[in-house]
Amino acid sequence: MTSTRWLAEYAWLPEHAEPTPDVLIETVGDRITAVTPLTPGGRPDAGVEVLVDAIRLPGLTLPGLANAHSHAFHRALRGRTHGGRGDFWTWRDQMYAVTTRLDPDSYLALARAVYAEMALAGITCVGEFHYLHHGPGGTPYADPNAMSAALVEAAAHAGIRLTLLDTCYLTASVDGQPLAGPQQRFGDGDALRWAERVSAFTPDGEHARLGAAIHSVRAVPAEQLATVAGWANRHDAPLHVHLSEQPAENDACRAVHGRTPTGLLADHGALGPATTAVHATHPTSGDVALLGESRTGVCLCPTTERDLADGIGPARRMADAGIPLSLGSDSHAVIDPFEEARAVELDERLRTRRRGHFAPAELLTAASVAGHAALGWADAGRLAVGDRADLVTVRLDSVRTAGVAPAGAWFAASAADVVQVVVDGRVLVRDGRHLTVDVPQELATAIAEVTHV
C-alpha cells in the first residue's frame, strides 16, 4: 500500500474550534495513520528531514465533505426552473418531465458528471435518494435494478463514495391515490415487492453501500412504513425520509391519520439513530421533541429549500434538542457545501433576526462527520488516525478568501476555491481540475440529451 505524507499549511482537526497551522498528515492506503501538529515555523521536534518527502498543501485542509441528500437527475433543471412563479408543486411537474427522458445509459452519463462536479466541490461521499427505478409506464427493465447499477457505476467513474438510498415510492398522496404518468416509473406495487427488488441488488465495488428510504408519508401507506423500516434495520442500513418539507404535507397527514408525519413515522418504528429526516422544515414542537428523543438525524438542504420557497427550518432548536444535523444539495440548484453550511447560520439569522447561532466548527461537523455518519460511513469525515484518507484543500488566496482568517473560510470560500481533493488516499482533484472527468463538457452533453437543447 502507498504511504504518503501531506504537510497542511492549516488543517481543521476534530474537536478544534479553529484550524491548526502546520500539520503533518500521514496516510497508508486509504487510511490516516498519523496526524502531527508541528511546532511554530513548521519544524517538528524530530528535525526537518522528516518533511523532505511531504507533499505540501497550501491553504486550509478539511476532512472529506458529505452530501447527504442528492437527486442526481435534478441537476438537469439548473437554470431552467428558477425564473418563474409558482411553488414546490409547480416545480415538481417540471422535474417529472426530465424523468421521462432518462434510461440507464443516459442516467449513467448524467450522474457521472454530477458526481464529478461534487468532487470538484470537495464532496467525497454522496447519499443518492433514488426513486427512478423502472422504465416508462413502470415497466421494469430486464435487470430491475439497472438504474441503481448505473448510479453505482457513475460514482465509481467520478471517484467518490456512494450510499444508494433505494427509495420506496408507492402512492401519489397521503390518502393513497395511485401513481400516474411519470410517477409510475417510481413504484414497485407495494413495500414487500420493493424489499424483494432491493434485496436482490448488491452494489459493485467497495465505494458503494446500500441504504433505504421512505420517500415521504405521501408516497408510502402507513401500514407499509414498518416494512421499509424493518428492511433497513435487518440490513443495518441507513434509512432516510423526506419529512415535513411542505405545510401541505403536514395538513394532509393530519387529515388522514390524525398525526403529523413525524408522529406517524414514530408510530411505525421509522425513527431512530439510523434514520435521517430530510428537510424537516415545518416541524411542530412535539415533532422536534420526538426527533431529539429518538436521536433521529435531520439533513438540511438550504439552497434547495430557498429555491423552492419551502421555508426556513428551526435548525438551532433542532440541534439543541440533540438532533444531529447534516447537509445535502438535494436538487443541485447549487453544488457548494460551503454555501449549504453557511446558509444554516445565515438563514437562522433571517428567521430570528439575530446573529451567531452556529460556530464554524459546528457547521464543519454537519458538512463532514455527521453527513458521513448519516450515510453509514462512520469511519470518515475527520482528520484523525484510523479514518479514511479524505483530504479537501481550500485556497486562502483567491479573490474570495484573500485576507480571511482560516476559521472564516466557511463564510468566505466557495466550491471554486477547492484546489485538491484526496479520496481514500488517491488524488482525485488537482489544481481545481478533476483528473479523469471533463466535468463542464460532460455536464453539457448529458443535460442536452435529457432536455433536448
Cβ neighbours of residue 157 closer than 8 Å, sequence gap 6 or more: 112, 115, 116, 436, 437
pLDDT in tens, 229-255: 999 999 999 999 999 999 999 999 999
Instruction: State residue 234's pLDDT score.
Output: 98
**pLDDT over 60 (residue 297):** yes
Question: What CATH number does domain 65-375 carry, 3.40.50.800, 3.20.20.140, 3.30.360.10, 3.90.550.10?
Answer: 3.20.20.140
Catalytic residue among 69, 279, 282, 434: 279
Catalytic residue among 22, 166, 330, 417: 330
Residue pair 129/151 in contact by the 8 Å Cβ criterion? no
pLDDT in tens, 121-179: 999 999 999 999 999 999 999 999 999 999 999 999 999 999 999 999 999 999 999 99
C-alpha R_g of the chain: 21
Any idea which residue has 438551532 for its cell?
Answer: 316
Instruction: State residue 39's pLDDT score.
Output: 66
Residue 157 has which C-alpha cell?
467513474
Neighbouring-strand partners of residue 36: 24
Question: What CATH number does domain 3-63+382-434 carry, 3.40.50.1000, 2.30.40.10, 3.30.56.10, 3.30.230.10?
Answer: 2.30.40.10
- Look up 279 and say whether it is catalytic: yes
Any idea which residue has 423500516 for its cell?
Answer: 229
Model-level pTM?
A: 0.96
Any idea which residue has 440533540 for its cell?
Answer: 322
Residue spans per domain, the chain: 3-63+382-434, 65-375
Instruction: State residue 407's pLDDT score.
Output: 93
**pLDDT over 80 (residue 33):** yes
pLDDT in tens, 301-357: 999 999 888 999 999 999 999 999 999 999 999 999 999 999 999 999 999 999 999
Cβ neighbours of residue 218 closer than 8 Å, sequence gap 6 or more: 171, 172, 173, 174, 249, 252
